[in-house]
Amino acid sequence: MNYIFYFLITVSIVAGAINGKLTDVVNAILSGAELSVKVAFSLIGIMAFWLGMMKIAKECGLIEIIAKIIKPITKRLFNEIPEDSPAIGDIAMSFSANAFGLTNAATPIGIKAMEELQKQNIDKQSASNAMCLFLAMNTAGFQLIPATVIAVLIGVGYPNPTEIIAPTLLVTTIAFLSAIFMAKIIQKYWNPQTATNIISNEEDECSKQ
């Protein structure tokens, strides 16, 4: 990524020099740097607010309540995992955090959930179906309140930053459901653990011969 940005900056400077607009390029770089600082500070404020709300919700048990509400759906999607597995609760909490746009808060919860899924994984060398499904759903990033995007829009001075909520909800819902659908379809035709066992059996047969 650093090389890409370095390339873009170099090309911009060269193109500006060739077209006699080097001054405009320099002014754009300086104004962009100033705007990035403003956006960064606005992100600090909104993220501090939402992370604080997330902490309060966790302390008062609201996150656990939401996790329990969606737990039946989680158990149905991840039917390979035992019902008493701690991963079920971690997955539900991760989705709850993502739904409020708190991706930073959801990251450690998601890592913990993945660690629990790895404990249930039979083949430690490859990801299980549950791990792949969880990764696909997390990547889709279903959000009810896109807190980070709203913070960026506030930082750049957008007049109505909350109007992004409805489009974001629509897009992330479609992406979320598509991720689940594709993961479930692929699972029917390709099971990495089964494939690993087949390869191992073939290697054993070859060694015996």
Return d(Cα 68, Cα 92) in angstroms, integer: 8
Residue 198 phi, psi (nearest 5): -65, -45
**Alpha helix ranges (H) inside 1-146:** 2-18, 22-59, 62-77, 86-99, 103-120, 129-140
What does the mean pLDDT of the chain come to? 76
Residue for token pair 């170099």: 10
pLDDT at position 50, please?
Answer: 66
Determine the pLDDT at residue 46.
67
Per-range mean pLDDT, top range of 95-99, 144-148, 172-176: 172-176
| Domain range annotation of the chain | 38-189
Dihedral sign, CA of 5, 108, 55, 66? Answer: positive
Q: Over the stretch 150-167, which tens digit does the pLDDT of each residue have?
A: 777 777 777 888 888 888
pLDDT 10s digits, 168-178 = 889 888 988 99
